[in-house]
Structure 1
Amino acid sequence: MAPLSSLLFFLLTVHSVNALKCYVCPSATTNQECNKNTQDCQAPLDTCMTTVGTLGQFTGISKMCSNSKICTSAAAVASVDNNGNGVQVTCCNSYLCNYSGAASVTLHRWLLVLPLLLITLLFRQQA
């Protein structure tokens, strides 16, 4: 009886771990086209990475599972000029979080600007 109760105890204490799932596509011209396939990311891939390249009217989108350090580094060097040409890289790490690359780009910009605005307001109040 002891082995059976030990097995039951083990099964009750082990929780299933849901791996990160991302939308993946090697190359697409629209977000809808890119969101047709998903993939469970395997360790050490802990981030969904979306890359959007724009040149004039042409857009290329790539989505994949990535390592957070690699994605963050790619996002730091990506840039877009005043005409909207260039590359944007976004990183996220929740279930199917890379559904809309454009929305997350806008969100990341606000997350960068908001602390700067708060710091500016604090300095103005102290002066």
Structure 2
Amino acid sequence: MGILPGLLFFLLSVHSVNTLKCYICSSTVSNEYCNSNSDDCQAPLDTCMTTVSISGDMKAIVKQCSDSQLCTGAASSVSLDDNGDGTVVTCCSSRLCNYSAAPTIQLCTWLLTLPMCLLTILIKQAD
């Protein structure tokens, strides 16, 4: 094999090894179902994005490849109410990193609830 074809083969094989792979599903209630489907992300998609919408006992999970700026923007607009209903978006960028969204949702709920509790305590002490 010549140098040029060998170099081309090497570059193509390196690209396929470094391709981001994410779990993929659209509007399912089961994280296990989402984790049974994965796909390679095509450039310029460089982030695994998970969106979980919660309304009472109902939950919808969407996992997909995304652009990092789009995912980060969506994740910054997290909106959960006092009952834990709303939408949470998480972003990650390593191979099959979007395996589970449940711990993230619990963490986001705590991060949103904690400041509200502290604010309530401060207001009650001021009265």
User: Could you state the TM-score of these two structures normalised by the residue count of structure 1?
Assistant: 0.73
The verdict on how the C-alpha distance between 1:67 and 1:8 changes in structure 2, with shifts beyond 3 A counting, is: closer
The 1-side partners of 2:38 and 2:84 are apart by 28
Asked if residue 16 in structure 1 is aligned to residue 42 in structure 2, the reply is no
Per the alignment, residue 123 of structure 1 pairs with: none
Greater displacement, 86-95 / 28-37: 28-37
Unpaired runs of 5+ residues, structure 2, are 112-127
Instruction: State the 4+ residue runs in structure 1 displaced beyond 2 angstroms.
Output: 6-15, 103-110
In the superposition, relative to structure 1, how do residues 55 and 106 fare at CA in structure 2: closer, same or farther (>3 Å)? Answer: closer
**What percentage of residue pairs aligned between the two structures are identical?**
51
1:27, 1:34 within 8 Å by CA — same for their partners in 2?
Answer: no
Counterparts of 1:39-54 in structure 2, within 5 Å, are 39-54=39-54
TM-score w.r.t. the length of structure 2 is 0.73
Shift of 1:102: 1.7
Gap change, CA 1:9 and 1:47, over 3 Å in 2:
same
Distance 1:109 1:47 in 2: 23
Residue of structure 2 in register with 1:102 after alignment:
102
Q: Is the CA contact (8 Å cut-off) linking 1:47 and 1:92 kept in structure 2?
A: yes
How many residues align? The count is: 109
